[in-house]
Amino acid sequence: MKNIVLIGIMGCGKTTVSLLLAEKLARPVIDIDEYLEKKYQMSIPEMFAISEAYFRERETICCQEVSKLNGYIISTGGGVIKNPENMKALKENGIVIYIDRPISMILEDVETSSRPLLKDGAEKLFDLYKERHQLYLDSCDYHIMNDVTIDEFINNIINCIKENK
Could you tell me the residue range of the domain that residue 99 belongs to? 3-156
For residue range 55-93, what is the model confidence (pLDDT) as tens digits? Answer: 999 999 999 999 999 999 999 999 999 999 999 999 999
Amino acid at site 133: H
Residue 123 CB-density burial (10 A; 0-12 exposed, 13-18 middle, 19+ buried) = exposed
Q: How far apart are CA 154 and CA 150, in angstroms?
A: 6
- Whether 165 is covered by a domain: the verdict is no
Q: Could you tell me if residue 161 is inside a domain?
A: no
- Which pTM was predicted? 0.92
Of residues 160 and 100, which shows the higher confidence score?
A: 100
Please provide the average confidence, as pLDDT, over all residues in the chain: 91
Residues in binding site: 11-16, 33, 56, 78, 115, 132
C-alpha Rg value of the chain to the nearest Å: 15
Angle at 89 between CA 45 and CA 12, to 5 degrees: 50
Residue 48 lies in a domain: yes
Binding residues for Mg(2+): 15
Domains contained in the chain, number: 1
Would you list which residues are annotated within the binding site for substrate? 33, 56, 78, 132
pLDDT in tens, 96-106: 999 999 988 88
43, pLDDT greater than 90: yes
CATH number for the domain harbouring residue 128: 3.40.50.300
Annotated binding residues for ATP, written as ranges, equal: 11-16, 115
